[in-house]
Structure 1
């Protein structure tokens, strides 16, 4: 069955692929943007095989190169998140960030806020530490972490 599917075999970073050759989009949640090989469905409803040499973390705006030279643009899906604002300036921000890091939670820094997945237990902890927490629906692109390589999982070829 996979022999008849379009195949995406290379990833090109946002800004490093010919957008005039865009053949469509594929919208993926954060957990679905770190794959090596699986059948996926683009936003027009057509199946394709993601068939990469190794698993990579796909970012919003990356291009998946198809066998015919066309590209699918990766779109980060909106997800249910918490947006955390910390009182107490830099010290308050660092304290909240430390507590989240100590729990090994994936977080995204956006300006003076921290975004993370909704979790009522963590929300209660954050409020107990003096943070304000708002429920939002937005794309999630957490920090790669100290051991994730170059900060992203693909090349700029």
Structure 2
């Protein structure tokens, strides 16, 4: 039986919960940050149940509220990614972005680069379009899209 105080039933967006009072952290890769109900373990090894009314895309810095009123801070885990830079005119960058979007690939915009998961077929396509591609290890926080999720560029779209 799960301790009812170790049940996370609410998500609070980054900046909208008392982060300085976090009771701990839970580090999750991108694929593990979109869940509704799942047994999890925090970074200190403590078990808890994520038990939300609906699946929510968790963002780095969000707070999971536990049954006792304490919070766990969500940390985006570093992942193996490709970072794409497109030299030349903005049209070249737009062309690369269009090809990635046409394949419905999750991407993260970081300054003048695009980050996405490593894939040798996509890497070959990008290089063929004139892009520079390098491997990086970093948290992956892709754009939420126009029809759901949330943008990681500033705003936060899930409701609380």
Per the normalisation by structure 1, the TM-score is 0.94
RMSD of the alignment, in Å?
Answer: 1.5
Partner Cα distance (2:60, 2:20) in 1: 17
C-alpha deviation, 1:5, in angstroms: 6.7
| 4+ residue segments displaced more than 2 Å | 1-5, 149-155
| Greater Cα offset, 98-107 or 144-153 | 144-153
Size of the aligned set, in residue pairs, is 156
Give 1:106-145 correspondences, 5 Å limit.
106-145=106-145
Partner Cα distance (2:60, 2:43) in 1: 14
Is the CA contact 2:5–2:67 (under 8 Å) kept in the aligned structure 1?
no
Give 1:2-13 correspondences, 5 Å limit.
2=2, 6-13=6-13
| Greater Cα offset, 32-41 or 4-13 | 4-13
Q: Does 1:62 align with 2:66?
A: no
Specify every segment of 5 or more residues in structure 2 that has no aligned partner in the other structure, as ranges.
Answer: none
C-alpha deviation, 1:3, in angstroms: 5.0
